[in-house]
Structure 1
Amino acid sequence: MTSPATQPDTSPRVEAGSGRWLTRGVAGIGTASLLADVGHEIPTALLPSLLTVTLGAPAAALGLIEGVSDGLAGTARLVGGALADDPGRRRRVAVGGYTSTAALGALTGAATAVWQVGVLRAGAWAARGLRVPARNALLADVVAPTVYGRAYGFERMMDNLGAIFGPLLALGLVAAIGVRAAIGLSVIPGLLAAAAIVYAIHHAPKAEPRPRVPLRIRVRPVLAAGLGPLMAAVAAFEVGNVAATLLILRATDLLRPGHGQERATQLALALYILYNIAATLASLPAGRLADRLGPHGAVRVLTAGVGLFAAAYAGFAFAGANVAFLALPFAAAGLAIGCVETAQHTAVASLAPPDIRGSAFGLLATVQAAGNVAASAIAGAIWTAVSAPAAFGYLAGWMLLALGGLGYAGRSPGVGSPTRART
């Protein structure tokens, strides 16, 4: 009989440091991302119908609600990053964020007034913003640094799968039980996501107790820890990272003359599904490649993804009314976002000192949110004032600037260096 002293240690701490990438913690977080995105996509897909058809609100109400919600989510990500610096607190924020998002999103289906929809939607997105840095920092807790790429690639793959299944499930639920009930049922995958996060936390190394410190949003320490050049390059990329709805609009406009409005819309949505499939397929291989390339691997994969985006935007600028031709930039953009999101998270997890890793992820998420709003708003204005090719040319220009920034970041001191704790 083996004595306790010689039995293998199967504690979560050993699992996280063993070099295996698909640990129970990683599986739990990936499952949470899949289920949460399914739960999130149902009310998102049905919100326009609820507002404009069921409640009789104008389209402007939808734009105002989404704009306010996006702004709150961006602010919440920065605050969530500060909360996530403490390992114990990041776990509570993750569980609370997933649970609150599920409950508030589902309650939208019971709203009887437009203002109620606005309050519930804004609350759900604020909770979603708070949980993002906590989840990303928690993922770094449950896996060894040598396999960060695969762990973050797996999480992004599962999230992208949710973006595929969520709208499809929404369509089926609407046909079976109606808009309000379908939104209400979105609480089920949302709460299952919270349960998956609890499972991941159970298999994470025990959080070391820390003295209580005042909550601080620490931007300067993050930039000073070697992340400044990388964040600048990421900011340039995000200002050119337009919302996928503009890609769908471009395809619809090009296809409408030859196919009619309804058929063009269907084809554009099919191309968007192709985009999400490409992103799903690219995420895990991108992470595997980042791990294999060594210290600078994440920056190199990020550079490849940005280059793919530049090519995709050039394709959208010069595309014709041909479905097969349009499929190329949609697929390239999907592959690009799979590479970029995985590489961004991997790079931040690798570079940020553990005691400010939450703040680093909070800053990354805030840069992403602010850049996306600017990209869509400015590109839309150029599209309206000049032309669609001009708008996509503008976006491609930001990709080229980001490539230059990444080239500098890859040569900067600290980039690719092992993560170390701050004293």
Structure 2
Amino acid sequence: MQHPAGPDVLRRNAYLLIVLFGIVAMFGDVIYEGARSVAGPYLYYLGATAFVVGLVAGVGEFLGYLLRLVSGYLADMTRHYWTLVFLGYGMLIAVPFLALAGSWEAAAGLYIVERMGKGIRAPAKDAILSNLTASTGRGWGFGIHEALDQVGAVVGPLIFTGAYLAQGDYRGGFALLAVPFVLMIAVLVIMRFRAPDPATFEPYAALEKEAPPLRALARYGIFTALTVAGFAAFPLISFHFVAEGIVPGAQIPLFYAIAMGVDAVVALVAGRAYDRFGLGTLVLMPVLGMAVPLLVFGTAYAAALAGAVLWGAVMGVQETVLRAAVADYTHISKRGRAYGIFNTIYGASFFAGGLAAGWLYMVSRPTMIFLMVALQVAALGVFVLAKKDLEGNMGGRKGGEPV
């Protein structure tokens, strides 16, 4: 059913809801990025071994990405997108309860619950956001959302820094996260009442759009897998910085904060560029991705800083254009499943690439760097084919343009 308001009113309402959704994501990031920033030390404090810390992280991520497939399918079949969003965000309540954890087993269970919540809400959240951004330009809408999201990614760890300096432990930080949780749920309730059926924000032209051939979507998936697998994970980068004495340990959080700030700015710029120029904007991912390992795994401080900046820029494109394009090239009735599959490909590729890079780092760093660059070159080749197929199916209209 089409939204009853005219195009100008629809666009204004859509912008408001996109900003509100960004605020929800911001509060969510304050909660779970804050918790993740101290997960290892907190589990160690409660008596966990290094193996347990790695196991908890692995199990949490595995379940989170596995649930994306299930929740994406359920979202499309039931059309209860808001239900899954509320359920997934509601499971963030596990994080403030970490303040009461008396054992590493209890803390581990709460960390895993938080990751499962992420898996449940992600496809439905992206599907709703794809509806809201149809009239504003999907790249720009996803860019606004990502920029606000990254504010939370910076603030969350800072809360724990302050709490630790004030009390000497992390429990106070976890307890403080109850405040953003309540605010997050309140904003979600407002959104639910203002947009009970987000699909009405998507114009008829988008609803009737023909789906691209499976071959084109498969190539897009392969491109995503290759470029993400060849993208260096920040934990490995920061490990190298400290192990080689390139960056003082006290500056590692600063480097990460700089990367997150660049992510937020690039998300806005790349989103706007996607709406104007289409899929070609995605070429930034493999091109910049080739330079990242050459800079961050060297021995120079200046190169490390430049690499961190480029790392944040690639993340900004990944979180904006890569996700916006999924909506533009899938039918609205299959949007939840599409995001479930996309997020699973993304997560599995990131895990596989990180595992290979970590092993090669110990065996042969030049080989590791060569592999990362080679994956980006291969991704670039696949991207050329995917872009041709996808844009050809759109009849010349650029993917992110408002319909």
Residue of structure 2 equivalent to 1:45: 37
Mapped partners of 1:306, 1:17: distance in 2: 38
Q: Is the 8 A contact 2:133 2:142 kept in 1?
A: no
Residue of structure 1 equivalent to 2:264: 280
Mapped partners of 1:415, 1:358: distance in 2: 24
Residue of structure 1 equivalent to 2:207: none
Q: How do residues 5-24 of structure 1 correspond to structure 2 at under 5 angstroms?
A: 14=6, 18-19=10-11, 23-24=15-16
Q: Aligned AA for 1:292?
A: R
In the alignment, does 2:389 pair up with 1:412? yes
- Per the alignment, do residues 253 and 356 of structure 1 end up closer, same or farther by CA in structure 2, a change over 3 Å counting? same
Residue of structure 2 equivalent to 1:185: 176
Q: Deviations over 1:39-92 (max 9, x none)?
A: 112221222222112x12212111111111011011011112112225741111
Residue of structure 2 equivalent to 1:31: 23
Mapped partners of 1:173, 1:194: distance in 2: 23
Q: Aligned AA for 1:242?
A: A
Q: How do residues 276-315 of structure 1 correspond to structure 2 at under 5 angstroms?
A: 276-293=260-277, 297=278, 299-315=279-295
In the alignment, does 2:296 pair up with 1:316? yes
1:398 to 363, 367, 375: 375
In the alignment, does 2:43 pair up with 1:63? no
**How far apart are residue 206 of structure 1 and its match?**
2.9
- Per the alignment, do residues 400 and 191 of structure 1 end up closer, same or farther by CA in structure 2, a change over 3 Å counting? farther
- Name stretches of at least 5 consecutive residues in structure 1 with no aligned partner: 1-10, 210-220, 257-262
SS in 2 for 1:193: helix
Tell me the TM-score normalised to structure 1 length.
0.84
In the alignment, does 2:220 pair up with 1:230? yes
Q: Aligned AA for 1:243?
A: A
In the alignment, does 2:109 pair up with 1:129? no
Tell me the TM-score normalised to structure 2 length.
0.88
Mapped partners of 2:199, 2:141: distance in 1: 23
Mapped partners of 2:185, 2:160: distance in 1: 20
SS in 2 for 1:143: helix
Mapped partners of 1:381, 1:43: distance in 2: 27
Q: Deviations over 1:16-43 (max 9, x none)?
A: 9844596121011110111100011222
SS in 2 for 1:142: helix
Q: How do residues 209-248 of structure 1 correspond to structure 2 at under 5 angstroms?
A: 224=214, 226-248=216-238
Residue of structure 2 equivalent to 1:364: 342
Residue of structure 2 equivalent to 1:338: 316
Q: How do residues 89-108 of structure 1 correspond to structure 2 at under 5 angstroms?
A: 89-100=80-91, 102-108=92-98
In the alignment, does 2:137 pair up with 1:147? yes
Identity %: 24
- Per the alignment, do residues 113 and 365 of structure 1 end up closer, same or farther by CA in structure 2, a change over 3 Å counting? same
Residue of structure 2 equivalent to 1:328: 306
Tell me whether 18-27 or 57-66 shows the greater mean CA deviation: 18-27
**How far apart are residue 199 of structure 1 and its match?**
2.4
- Name stretches of at least 5 consecutive residues in structure 2 with no aligned partner: 201-210
- Per the alignment, do residues 326 and 242 of structure 1 end up closer, same or farther by CA in structure 2, a change over 3 Å counting? closer
Mapped partners of 1:344, 1:204: distance in 2: 25
**How far apart are residue 415 of structure 1 and its match?**
5.9
- Per the alignment, do residues 184 and 382 of structure 1 end up closer, same or farther by CA in structure 2, a change over 3 Å counting? same
Mapped partners of 1:119, 1:222: distance in 2: 42
- Per the alignment, do residues 91 and 17 of structure 1 end up closer, same or farther by CA in structure 2, a change over 3 Å counting? farther
- Per the alignment, do residues 113 and 282 of structure 1 end up closer, same or farther by CA in structure 2, a change over 3 Å counting? same
Q: Aligned AA for 1:26?
A: I
**How far apart are residue 141 of structure 1 and its match?**
2.0
Mapped partners of 1:184, 1:360: distance in 2: 36
Q: Is the 8 A contact 2:128 2:199 kept in 1?
A: no
SS in 1 for 2:102: coil
The count of corresponding residues between Structure 1 and Structure 2 is 383
Q: Is the 8 A contact 1:109 1:183 kept in 2?
A: yes
Residue of structure 2 equivalent to 1:6: none
Residue of structure 2 equivalent to 1:215: none
Cα RMSD between the aligned structures?
Answer: 2.5
Mapped partners of 2:97, 2:6: distance in 1: 41
Residue of structure 2 equivalent to 1:384: 362
Q: Deviations over 1:234-260 (max 9, x none)?
A: 11112222321111112223325xxxx
Q: Is the 8 A contact 1:12 1:204 kept in 2?
A: no
Mapped partners of 1:414, 1:85: distance in 2: 25
